[in-house]
Amino acid sequence: MAITSTTLYSTPFDVVKNILRTSTVLNTKFNTNDYYEYFPAFSRGFRKYPFIVIRCPEVDDKWKTFRTNKEMNYNITITIYVEYLARNNLKTYLDALHSTLNSDTSQDTFQTNGMENMNINTTAFAEFPDIINNKKIVTVDINLGFDLFLDVS
């Protein structure tokens, strides 16, 4: 599927979300309902920790246009939220996430959608937990960078 100016934010976001949600590795750790686009509201529908937020992509539109394609930098941040008492699981979650994103199937899916040369950068775990809704929470950010080829034809 070609990414166009009308799908610049939705398609790459959906590609990442679908790769994570369909991963058999991650499904042992997270339910498919544990993936959010925004921080979830703490209401009756909230499923508890851990959960993942896949943020709206950041786009650097300063690249060159080649015929019908425009190359640009594209970044998506994934944040894993876990309770402080379960913080030792973060390394396991990160291993599963890296394994999923770097699999041949995922790489083929990214490339088919014009998302190439992926790099993964992980922030250090917070030294002190955050307090969210009266719970101690630890987070880690995983930043995915891509060269994105936008169809401008």
| 113 compared with 69, residue with greater pLDDT | 113
pLDDT tens profile 17-34: 999 988 887 888 888 888
**Highest mean pLDDT (candidates 1-10, 46-55, 101-110):** 101-110
pLDDT above 70: residue 75:
yes
46 pLDDT band, cuts 50/70/90, is low
Domains along the sequence of the chain with CATH: 3-151 (3.30.70)
H or E, element range at 111: helix 104-112
Residues with Cβ within 8 Å of residue 63, at least 6 apart in sequence = 70, 71, 72, 73
**98 token code pair:** 């890296």
Residue 45's pLDDT is 58
pLDDT above 60: residue 62:
yes
pLDDT tens profile 101-136: 999 999 999 998 888 888 999 887 777 788 887 889
| 33 compared with 99, residue with greater pLDDT | 99
pLDDT above 90: residue 78:
yes
Q: What average pLDDT does the chain have?
A: 84
Cβ-contact 76, 13 below 8 angstroms: yes
